[in-house]
Structure 1
Amino acid sequence: MNPLEIIPVAHERLRTVRRQHFIGGRFASTSSTEAISVTNPATGQSLGTIPNGTSADVDAAVAAARSALPDWSRRTPGARAETLFAVADVVDANAGLLAAVESINVGKPLAAAAEEIAVVSDCLRFMAGAARSAQTPAAGQYLPGLLSCIKREPVGVIGAVTPWNFPLMMAAWKIAPILAAGNTLVLKPSQLTPLSVLLLLEMTADVLPPGLLNVVLGRGSQIGDALSKHPGIDMMALTGSLASGRAVARQAADGIKRVHLELGGKAPLLVFPDADLDALVETLVATGYTNAGQDCGAATRVVCHRDVHDTVVEKLVAGAESLVMGDPGADDRVQLGPVISAAHRNRIAAMVEQACSDGAKIATGGEIPDRSGFFYPATVLTDVAAGTQMARDEVFGPVISVETFTDESEGIAKANDVDYGLAASVWTADQRRALRIVDQLDFGTVWANTHLAFATEMPWAGFGQSGYGRDNSTYALEDYTRTKHVLLPMDGTAD
């Protein structure tokens, strides 16, 4: 099938998808009278509405999750794995349709969305298997006459809030380890991009036991707030902005809830003169502009040695200007889609304007195009001064900034001069230098001569204001479990 042939199929399917909360294994109505419009960012046209949920909806979802918890938590890891494998099978069988829905709702190229759906399935399958091989310290007689062992138990009912930039993939990064570990879940997807999650719920309603996965639609300021404060929620997990993370942590504090936060980033690419500049720029274009730069690990901040600055900028400008910008649903050549909303586009434009006021120069892009949809061009900024907003704050758009350094220590200092600590990369042909610098970059993931390379087996986690808590890997499973120390008498007595 031609890639664009699936788009009208997806539009037709979206006309019938249920726009309701999913509670206790079924779609449920709400007492709320407020509707939230969901928009195709490439055209500005409405994709319909969803309800803005209420605290009563949250109460119902939490009650359903608590009701399902005893049975689910007592199932063996193998039995839980079978359910996750069944969900993964549904994802695989409908991968094209799910990717098309993501493309329409987020505005990203269909090929990029298809890569994410493959990650959804892989995450479900990995966590299903990993839960069956959870590790603990060796049982042993650490006190005289007593055998100690560790039990890993589910935390309980988890509240999760996921973002709009990778709707189904970010939901899977929460759903898979949370359920695999024996917990139940109340999920709030972004009100901007809920459609792929709703479609998957329709497809898996007969696969998931009732109450296992509950979804409440609505704004984060209301539903996220209600989940964070709810006495029936044992832990909160969020992928989102720094402001959202602070709000969830603050609201969860009164209940002494555990909190899992994956927040923003400002990823530097530290470039030395001996780097493969063609590979660098190819990676910059692919990982800085895909999904219109709306990625917390996006390659949008180049910290470049002065000797190769001009060459890097020249190649980067050519790469940015070669991108085809437009509606991914209308042209399969499109490589740069829109940003998520008019408000977000205006925020990006304001940051570029401020950067210019701070002394930066626009090498290409930097102007909102006169067209429908929420587009912003692939932009390159040079002469970005250390310490300015553009050097330190997350743009979350298709804007790559370039700073310079003269020696290794200055480059490392500039790369680390951010409050975020999510991801970074170093570019050099000198492997000793690469290893030396990796140790000095204060980020949760550091690549050498590549960027945004992921493996489900490895953790995605940040330092500093990028949050705490690990997505992917067995570390994610650990985050959603608690340990119980069990001591048994060695001689059969109870003394």
Structure 2
Amino acid sequence: MTVTYDRAELLPAVREFLSSPKKLLIDGEWVDAADGKTFETLNPATEEVLAVVAQGSAADADRAVKAARKAFEPGSPWSKFTPRERSHLLWRIGDLIEEHADEFAQLEALDNGKRVEAARDGDVATAAELFRYFAGWATKMEGTSIPMSVPGRDFHAYTRREPLGVVAGIVPWNFPLLMAAFKIVPAITAGNTVVLKPAEQTPLTALRLGQLLLDAGLPAGVVNVLPGFGDAGAALVDHPGVDKVAFTGSTEVGKKIAAGAAGNLKKVSLELGGKAPNIIFADADIDAAIAGAVLGGYFNEGQCCVNGSRLYVQREVFDQVIEGVAAAARAITPGDGFAADSTMGPLVSKEQHDKVLGYIRSAVADGATISAGSADAPFEQGYFVNPTLITGVTEDMAVQTDEIFGPVVTAIPFDTEDEVVAAANNTVYGLAAGVWSRDLGTAHRVAGKLRAGTVWVNTWHADDVTLPRGGFKQSGWGRELGSFGLDDYTELKTVIAELR
């Protein structure tokens, strides 16, 4: 393993950011937790402490919600922002993120473990683009005039889109900055206010974003940042002052949020777990399909809910594909996100590291075969896992049914289209899927049969901020991004006036 980064390699802005304890952002001010508690956030590549962070509690959640409510109410500075002013602000934020891209990328690599280049060119660049894309929608949330049929009377009836109020955004640790943007951007585009609860494993870029939003001119209280643990998130879900919860994370937690939101029937949108099938037919471009299977399986250290972790290959080409994927997996180099020769960073935490290795060992104990990778960690330090390909798997094995959220791909041969469609859909999840075939009839027919919110054909991870994202079944409720991304952040009001 290459020697990891030296502190001297960090940008001055990053060193300065890490040099002081991090606080909560509430009502435009950086404040300590009400009870004074703090927690440490670690670098998963080195297991060293990066920063001490204020630990938000239920009391702090209450403070943040009240600040967001005050910022939303009529007469507040935010309520007086015109759609055009919101548009200009969103664009300005996007520009600022881009100006600070290297800083955000280093913080993300330190806190999450991903490679600096991947963070900068993927996460940070997309976050900036999200602000710019939604800047265009701020002025385009239109209503509709609807004719009424009432004999002898004349009416003017129309609809209008209005903001919901206070949005609680609860985000995961796999794409910390990007997922924060997923929640904040559509919320403030529509005129809502936000309390953002970042994952306790990765709070740093959310806190840096909070300062940047203030620097851009966002009024106090419009976006509040509440680092902490599950109790802080639960307090937001239960809080009667929250009008909507937007959550990305596990299906298990998503179910708890849906139940908790029943108290005041707050709106809920959920992007939850996935176990995406990746289907390769014998007539596919095999080289492209192998490359796609590697990208789809091991992208972001395997910590991506739309990764193609279940690989199905038609029997005629099964051995060829497995050989190609295994060779590519072995060529991936785990290492620190700052190391020049690293092509895969660590997993985010010891808990996740142990969980993933446990699934690999369980599969071997159940009779499966490791065709690439290992059930042992490659290094003594850091939460690294070798990219692993497992064959000899059956559909009832835990490694095949559960969302592992690590660089683990299982592979099973199939013979017929009907057989593989049934196997692909035999899951509680439905977030993503993929089909590889030169026959467009086959590709589109199978894509139509797969129960998933996104289906890639002859590609994987092709994406754009203009496209809606979301899941079928237990992979979630609602859609994010694209023109559909504002639907869950607005109320549709009908107004009827009789013309006399």
| Superposition TM-score, scaled by structure 2 size | 0.94
The residue aligned with 1:246 is 255
Aligned match for 2:439, one of 419, 430, 437: 430
CA distance in 1, matches of 2:9, 2:173: 22
Are 2:52 and 1:22 equivalent residues in the alignment?
A: no
The residue aligned with 2:138 is 131
The residue aligned with 2:335 is 326
Q: CA deviation at 1:34?
A: 2.8
CA distance in 2, matches of 1:409, 1:400: 22
Q: CA deviation at 1:11?
A: 4.8
Q: CA deviation at 1:73?
A: 4.0
The residue aligned with 1:339 is 347
User: CA 1:260–1:403 in 2, change beyond 3 Å: closer, same or farther?
Assistant: same
* Structure 2 letter corresponding to 1:372: Q
Aligned match for 2:224, one of 187, 198, 214: 214
The residue aligned with 1:47 is 50
Encode CA deviations 1:351-379: one digit per residue, 9 max, x unaligned.
Answer: 11222233311111122224210011010
* Structure 1 letter corresponding to 2:91: F
Aligned partner of residue 405 in structure 2, secondary structure: coil
The residue aligned with 1:484 is 493
CA distance in 1, matches of 2:484, 2:149: 26
Q: CA deviation at 1:58?
A: 1.1
Aligned partner of residue 133 in structure 1, secondary structure: coil
* Contact 2:14 2:103 survives alignment (8 Å): no
The residue aligned with 1:472 is 481
The residue aligned with 2:368 is 360
Q: Alignment length, in residue pairs?
A: 487
Aligned match for 1:200, one of 203, 209, 224: 209
Q: CA deviation at 1:183?
A: 0.5
Are 2:268 and 1:228 equivalent residues in the alignment?
A: no
Aligned match for 2:102, one of 73, 96, 99: 96
Q: What pairs up with 1:433-448 in 2 under 5 angstroms? A: 433-448=442-457
The residue aligned with 1:110 is 116
User: Which 4+ runs in 1 deviate beyond 6 A?
Assistant: none
Q: CA deviation at 1:380?
A: 0.5
CA distance in 2, matches of 1:370, 1:93: 36
CA distance in 2, matches of 1:353, 1:195: 33
* Structure 2 letter corresponding to 1:354: S
Q: Which moved more, 1:230-239 or 1:75-84?
A: 75-84
User: CA 1:241–1:8 in 2, change beyond 3 Å: closer, same or farther?
Assistant: same
Q: CA deviation at 1:285?
A: 2.2
Aligned partner of residue 34 in structure 2, secondary structure: coil
% identical equivalent positions: 37
User: CA 1:116–1:414 in 2, change beyond 3 Å: closer, same or farther?
Assistant: same
* Structure 2 letter corresponding to 1:39: L
Q: Which moved more, 1:376-385 or 1:139-148?
A: 139-148
Segments of structure 2 that go 5 or more residues without pairing to the other structure are: none
* Structure 1 letter corresponding to 2:419: E
Aligned match for 1:461, one of 470, 473, 478: 470
CA distance in 1, matches of 2:133, 2:470: 18
* Contact 2:311 2:410 survives alignment (8 Å): yes
* Structure 2 letter corresponding to 1:118: A
Q: CA deviation at 1:297?
A: 0.6
Q: What pairs up with 1:99-178 in 2 under 5 angstroms? A: 99-114=105-120, 115-143=122-150, 144-178=153-187
Root-mean-square deviation (CA, aligned residues, Å) is 1.7
Aligned partner of residue 426 in structure 2, secondary structure: coil
CA distance in 1, matches of 2:356, 2:149: 58
The residue aligned with 2:272 is 263
User: CA 1:270–1:87 in 2, change beyond 3 Å: closer, same or farther?
Assistant: same
* Contact 2:21 2:53 survives alignment (8 Å): no
Are 2:71 and 1:68 equivalent residues in the alignment?
A: yes
Are 2:302 and 1:293 equivalent residues in the alignment?
A: yes
Segments of structure 1 that go 5 or more residues without pairing to the other structure are: none
CA distance in 1, matches of 2:397, 2:142: 45
User: CA 1:17–1:403 in 2, change beyond 3 Å: closer, same or farther?
Assistant: farther
Q: CA deviation at 1:240?
A: 0.7
Encode CA deviations 1:326-385: one digit per residue, 9 max, x unaligned.
Answer: 1122x2221111001111111111111222233311111122224210011010001111
* Contact 1:32 1:51 survives alignment (8 Å): no
CA distance in 2, matches of 1:64, 1:141: 42
Q: CA deviation at 1:135?
A: 4.1
Are 2:41 and 1:38 equivalent residues in the alignment?
A: yes
CA distance in 2, matches of 1:194, 1:290: 22
CA distance in 1, matches of 2:143, 2:447: 30
Aligned partner of residue 91 in structure 2, secondary structure: helix
* Structure 2 letter corresponding to 1:245: G
Q: CA deviation at 1:470?
A: 1.2
Encode CA deviations 1:263-310: one digit per residue, 9 max, x unaligned.
Answer: 111111111001112112212222322321000011221011111110
* Contact 2:21 2:51 survives alignment (8 Å): no
